[in-house]
Amino acid sequence: MTKILHRSIGTNLPKAVGGEGIHISDSEGRSYIDGSGGAAVSCLGHNHPEVLEAMKAQMGRITYAHTSFFTTDVAEELAEQLVQLAPRGLDYVYLVSGGSEAVEAALKMARQYFVEIGQSQRRHIIARRQSYHGNTIGALATGGNAWRRAQFEPILPETHHVSPCYAYRDMQPAETPGKYAERLATELEAKIVELGTDKVMAFVAEPVVGATLGAVGPVADYFKRVRQICDKYGILLILDEVMCGMGRTGTIFAVEQEGIVPDLLTIAKGMGGGFQPIGAVLLSEKIYRAFAEGSGLFQHGHTYIGHPIAAAAANKVVEILKRPDVMANVIKMGDRLQAGLDAALGQSSYVGDIRGRGLFRGVEIVADKDTKEPFDPTRKIHSKIKREAMQRGLMCYPMGGTIDGVHGDHVLLAPPYIIQPEQIDMIVERLAAAINAAIAS
pLDDT digits over 15-68, tens only? 999 999 999 999 999 999 999 999 999 999 999 999 999 999 999 999 999 999
Pairing status of strand 23-26 against strand 160-162: unpaired
Q: What is the per-residue pLDDT for 409?
A: 98
C-alpha span between 165 and 171 (Å, rounded) = 9
C-alpha dihedral, 66 to 71 to 73 to 77, nearest 10°: 110
Q: Which residues contact 183 (CB under 8 A, 6 or more apart)?
A: 175
pLDDT at residue 11 tops 90: no
Q: What is the per-residue pLDDT for 346?
A: 97
Mean pLDDT of 310-324: 97
pLDDT at residue 405 tops 90: yes
C-alpha span between 257 and 97 (Å, rounded) = 26
Closest CA to 402 of 239, 213, 258: 213
Residue 10's alpha-carbon distances to 3, 6, 324, 395, in angstroms, are: 12, 8, 45, 20
- How would residue 1 be classed by pLDDT, with cut points 50, 70 and 90? confident
The backbone torsions φ and ψ at residue 244, rounded to the nearest 5 degrees and listed phi first, read: -90, -5
The secondary structure of residue 113, as a DSSP letter, is: H
- Domains, the chain, with CATH or none: 16-34+324-440 (3.90.1150.10), 52-321 (3.40.640.10)
CB count within 10 Å of CB 327 equals 18
Q: Is 326 helix (H, G, I), strand (E, B) or coil?
A: helix
Mean pLDDT of 163-181: 97
- How would residue 273 be classed by pLDDT, with cut points 50, 70 and 90? very high
- How would residue 10 be classed by pLDDT, with cut points 50, 70 and 90? confident
Mean pLDDT of 76-96: 98
Say whether pTM exceeds 0.85. yes
Mean pLDDT of 329-353: 98
C-alpha dihedral, 263 to 269 to 270 to 276, nearest 10°: 120
